Amino acid sequence: MRGRNCSAALFFLALAIQAVFALRAMAFEKTGRLADIEYRFICTDVAQLKEKINVLVILSRAAGEGGGKKAVRVALGIPTGIFRSPGGQESLEASFELGPGDTERFAFRSLLALENAEPGRYPFELRCSAGEGPPEVSPFEVAVVRGPVPPRGILSILYPALVSLLFLPFFIFFLLRLGEPGGWRTVKDAELAEPEEAWWEQEESP
C-alpha cells in the first residue's frame, strides 16, 4: 500500500509541475461563423522590435449552402507608430467572393514592429463582414519586446524533454520496484493456501 501511495503522489506531483510551468501558446486564434461563412484568424501575440509578423485569415463556405457567390470583406486595423504595413497604411483591407464549397486562405503580411516602439501590448482589430450584414469585430493584442523571442523550434524540443525529466523519477521508482526479488511474480507463482474441505465431505467421513 505504501508503494502505491508513493507512486500516486509522484504522478500527481509531476502533473502539477507540468501545469504550472506549461508554456503559453504564443498566438491569437479565433474561429467563428458569420452568416454562412466560417472564419479563422491566427496571429502571433509577441513580436521583437524590427520583426515582421503576419495575420493569417481562412474563410470557407459549406458546399451545401444555396445561392451564388457571396462577397466577404476583411479589414485589419494596425496601431500606428508601433507597427507599419508594407505600404504605410493604417488599415488593410481585402475582399473575396465565395461560392458554395469555396475556401480562401490569405494573410496580411510583413507588418513591421518599428525600432523606436516602446515595449508593451498594442491593440489590433480585425473586421469581417459577409454580404450586407454587420461586421464581426475581433480585437486582439500583440506584445512588443526588446529582447529576442525564444525560438519556436527550440521550445518544441525543450518542452517534451522537460516533461520527460519530470516523469523520470516516477519511472525509476517502478524500475526499482520491479527489480526487487519477486517483483515479476505472477499468479501462477503465488503460494496459494490449501483449500478447505467441503462441509458435505466432512459429514460423510467416518
What global pTM score does this model have? 0.59
pLDDT in tens, 2-21: 444 555 555 555 555 555 54
pLDDT at residue 64 is higher than 60: yes
Q: Which of 125, 148, 171 is the last residue of a domain?
A: 148
Q: What is the mean pLDDT of residues 50-71?
A: 87
| Same domain, yes or no: 48 and 13 | no
pLDDT in tens, 146-166: 866 556 566 667 767 777 777
Q: What are phi and psi of 104, to 5 degrees?
A: -125, 125
Q: Which domain holds residue 175?
A: 2-21+154-204
Q: In the chain, pLDDT over 90 holds for what percent of residues?
A: 30
Residue 135 maps to which CATH number?
A: 2.60.40.1460
Mean of per-residue pLDDT scores for the chain: 77
